[in-house]
Structure 1
Amino acid sequence: MSGFEPFTQQTGAAALDDLRARLRATRWPDSPDDAGWSLGTDLDYLRELVAYWADGFDWPAREAELLRLPRFRATVGGLGIHFVHAKAVAPAGRAMPLVLSHGWPDSFWRYQKVIPLLTDPGAHGADPADAFDVVVPDMPGFGYSDIPKGPALDSVAVAGLWAELMDLLGYRTFGAAGGDIGSHVSRYLALDHPERVTAVHRTDAGVPFFAGDPAELTPEERAWMEGAVVWGRDEGAYAAMHRTKPQTAAVGLTDSPAGLAAWIVEKFQAWSHGDAGSAFTMDEILTNLTIYWLTGTIGSSMRMYRANAAIPPAQLARRVEVPSGFSIFAGDIVRPPRAWLERTANVVRATEPARGGHFAAFEEPEIYAEELRAFFRPYRTATTG
């Protein structure tokens, strides 16, 4: 691929030695008896995780596993973008191109498990005709993509980068899917490039924005919006910090791996279907955390919240006319009603899988893969010819 370089970076011993020394030197706060997760991160769980990160976790093995994915770097919109480009195990020209957009606090890691299920469905008990060419970029300021030197890019700008990336890869038309911030990016891909995005799938509808007459809303929509306000009050302190003072939090989180772990793991606990310990292994959690630590991207990833908070209301109010699908997983946060989905998008399929939370592609990759296969099946002809 002209203009693309294979990504083969490996971590040096000095960086890992520094990480382990910092973990072993953690200065722990006090905690009330039996606080558990009620005040934030459970310190007993965190102590166990940090001890394993320092003296048991095998990052070189995890890094080698990730390097087995077909990973590349390319310059897109003046920024170095890291991405996975996994081609389908299918006859040439038969696979559907699909760009998957991650959210916070993760990276391309979110889709690690689901990639083989999408590129080679026949090897996993599904129809080989449902194969995808999968592209999973790290957003600017996340993972192994460049950190913008100026203000963070918002979801509208990132959608423009992904359209350019797909063009560079030779995909004139394609499907788009994502969750969390990736849901926003996928939405703007469909809004701004409807001639190229044949269909768009999301696992959430984002934070509700409605500028019309509240009397127009259904009772379910009003209840959902009221619930979103309560959720923001009780669970949204992290987002308020990201939107307003991300650089303040970034100092401690960039300096202390235990602090970084506390900030991120609490979200894995709160946003999973069940709890972090049952939804993810410690190795899986620490793989995500180590990517953040080694790339120093916690601050830049948080700044995207500030950028998105400045998106004009006129952009937020736009309705997606591209065929849209939603999989609203049972354990996800702020789950919208069908009426809201139809108000904001041209919904052709909406389901509510019984298992899985906010990180559904990682928590329940088989279910997530089948959701994508089923939704995109009618739109394959438009992208594969």
Structure 2
Amino acid sequence: MTDISSGTATVPEVEPFAIHVSDDDLLDLRARLDRVRLPEPETVPGATQGIELQQLAALLAAWRQHDWRAREARWNAIPHYRASIDGLGIAFWHVRSPEPTALPLVLTHGWPGSVLEFEDVVGPLSDPVAYGGSARDAFHVVVPALPGFGFSDRPRERGWHPGRTARAWAALMTLLGYQRFGAHGGDWGAYVSTELARLVPERVAGLHLTMPLASPLPEDRIAPDPAEQRLLDRRDLHLMDGYGFGMLMSTRPQTIGYSLLDSPAGMAAWLGEKFTAYADTRPAVGGGVSVSKQVDNIALYWLTGTGASSARWYWEAMRWVPRSAEEENARPVTTPTACSLFPADPWPTARRWAQRRYRDLHTWHELDRGGHFPGLEQPDLLVCEIRDAFRCARDQPGIS
């Protein structure tokens, strides 16, 4: 077990872990998909009542054709491990770069995503030369599954919030032999990465976020300029009309968990709604998260039985996160920080707000395409953003 209080490994327990779901689980899923019951169509056009019947039917049809065994083979081609940290088994990809000067980098996902958010960026980040890039941009890549997600253990006790997870990530990087490293995250991954930089700033060489955690102060709502007013309007609309799922999971995760564990249609609807609502679905820029990638993620949640445990993450996290902009700013981050802002993200942030919390904000890049899931929507663009973000960090000593 790894002792996270000291950040050192008392007994190294990193073991290779192959993904393999039983035939019985796949047969059970097939039977459930064959007897799905769907309601009548929504009574209004569009998605104002939730995921549309036509969209869900298309997701379920694609899931019936999904080849899980082929996905297992593809994902098992990426070196996959488990380690016991603070009493919990953490599953993670760990891909060492062939480049001797590579910078260690931990990538953290959110909900309704998974480690699969980074499947298409692991290769270009770890071996840039093989993908037409420069050896100077190489990373040793570590992609852990959050507690209660994927093939990480489901917590049986309270307390696995972003702060505890950040301490576990620091211990994991120690276990892997990385004293200094970079951190990247969006969604809940932004919370974990931000806390990691705050807790061990001497170890985090740089921080890259696609969802900076900075809220407006009350005075920011007094006579804002037009640009900030648009940001405020979008945030307010999302909280009023788009965040009901978060309120439910942060207050009654066990209740929704029963449905998510028992109904594949329920799981597909619960996750699929956000894969569309939070993505840049304009056909001209790629169309958002493909149905294939949505089904990969939905199947991963279903076959790992993590619908309830991932919902409980919200219950834990929302009792830990700062309750106001003032509380956020009382947890400042001094690590060099770069932010990439994708236009369809539902949590827009002004640079002025972010600078109050991220005290060394050296890059602020507002992009013209992409949404909340850049690794699934625009992986090539995300690779470029991460490479750019960490170039300055590579000049620091002791990064490997």
- 1:116 aligns to what SS in structure 2? helix
Contact 2:235/2:346 (<8 A) preserved: no
1:115 aligns with 2:122: yes
- Which residue of 2 is the match for residue 339 of structure 1? 352
Whether the 8 Å contact between 1:221 and 1:340 is mirrored in structure 2 is no
Q: Residues 306-321 of structure 1: matches in 2 within 5 Å? A: 306-311=315-320, 313=322, 316-317=328-329, 318-321=331-334
Report if the CA contact (8 A) 2:293-2:376 is conserved: no
- State the TM-score, normalized to the length of structure 1: 0.93
User: Partner residue of 1:323?
Assistant: 336
**Counterpart check, 1:99 vs 2:106:** yes
CA distance in 2 between counterparts of 1:180 and 1:228 reads 14
Residue 375 (structure 1) aligned with residue 389 (structure 2): yes
> SS where residue 104 of structure 1 aligns?
coil
Q: Quick one: distance in 2 between partners of 1:118 and 1:163?
A: 20
Separation in structure 2 between the aligned mates of residue 361 and residue 166 of structure 1, nearest angstrom: 22
Q: Does 1:52 align with 2:59?
A: no
1:349 paired with 2:363, answer yes
1:28 partner letter: L
Tell me how large the CA RMSD over aligned residues is.
2.2
Change (3 A) 1:9 1:214: closer
Alignment partners' CA distance in 2, 1:292 and 1:331: 24
Query: Quick one: which of 254, 260, 265 aligns to 2:267?
Result: 260
Q: Does 1:5 align with 2:19?
A: no
SS class of match (2:83): strand
Q: Which amino acid in the other structure matches residue 324 of structure 1?
A: T
* Aligned: 1:71 with 2:80: yes
User: Where does the alignment leave 5 or more consecutive residues of structure 2 unmatched?
Assistant: 1-10
Q: Distance in 2 between matches of 1:217 and 1:119?
A: 46
Q: Tell me the CA shift for residue 32 of structure 1.
A: 3.6
- Correspondence for 1:290: 299
Offset from partner CA, 1:340-377 (integer Å, 9 cap, x none): 12122021011012121100022111111111111101
Are residues 1:163 and 2:170 paired?
Answer: yes
Quote the residue 2:212 is aligned against.
205
Question: Any unmatched runs of 5+ in structure 1?
Answer: none
Judge conservation of contact 2:214–2:349 (CA < 8 Å) in 1: no
Looking at structure 1, the residues matched to 97 and 353 of structure 2 have their Cα atoms a distance apart, in angstroms, of 35
Q: How does 1:86-235 map to 2 (within 5 A)?
A: 86-90=95-99, 92=100, 94-206=101-213, 208=215, 210=217, 219=225, 224-235=231-242
Change in Cα spacing, 1:215 to 1:20, as seen in structure 2 (3 Å) is: closer
Distance in 2, Cα, partners of 1:376 & 1:184:
19
Return the alpha-carbon distance in structure 2 between the equivalents of residues 128 and 218 of structure 1. 44
Partner of 2:30: 20
Q: Which residue of 1 aligns with 2:308?
A: 299
Whole-Å separation in 1 of the counterparts to 2:231 and 2:164: 29
1:148 & 1:244 partners in 2: Cα distance?
17
Equivalence map 1:243-258=2 (5 Å): 243-258=250-265
| Cα distance, 1:224 vs structure 2 | 3.3
Q: CA deviation at 1:242?
A: 1.0
Per-residue deviation, 1:384: 3.4
Determine the C-alpha separation between the residues in 2 that align with 1:326 and 1:284. 25
**Structure 2 CA distance, aligned partners of 1:319 and 1:224?**
22
Q: State yes or no: 1:384 paired with 2:399.
A: yes
| Number of equivalenced pairs | 381
Whole-Å separation in 1 of the counterparts to 2:275 and 2:221: 36
Give the Cα–Cα distance (whole angstroms) in 1 for the partners of residues 288 and 51 of structure 2: 16
Once the 2 structures are TM-superposed, how far is the Cα of residue 4 of structure 1 from its aligned partner?
1.1
Check conservation: 1:6, 1:73, Cα contact below 8 A.
yes
Q: Distance in 1 between matches of 2:248 and 2:166?
A: 24
Single out whichever of 43-52 and 176-185 deviates more from structure 2: 43-52
Distance 1:34 1:218, change over 3 A: closer
247, 270, 283: which is aligned to 2:277?
270
Matched, 1:30 2:45: no
Identity percentage over the alignment?
Answer: 38
C-alpha contact 2:342 2:370 (8 A) present in aligned 1: yes
Provide the residue aligned with 1:362 in structure 2. 376
Q: Secondary structure at the match of 2:335?
A: strand
Q: Which amino acid aligns with 1:251?
A: Y
Over 3 Å counting, the alpha-carbon distance change for 1:146 and 1:32 in structure 2 is closer
| 1:368 partner amino acid | L
CA offsets 1:92-142 (integer angstroms, 9 cap, x no match): 3x1000000100012111100010010111122221111000000001101
SS in 2 for 1:239: helix
Alpha-carbon distance change, 209 to 145 in structure 1, aligned in 2, over 3 angstroms = farther
Alpha carbons 2:117, 2:375 under 8 Å: kept: yes
* Contact 2:91/2:144, CA 8 A, preserved across alignment: yes
Moved more, 262-271 or 375-384: 375-384
Question: Runs of at least 4 residues of structure 1 off by over 4 A?
Answer: 212-223
Bigger Cα displacement from structure 2, 155-164 vs 302-311: 302-311
Corresponding letter in the other structure for 2:328:
L
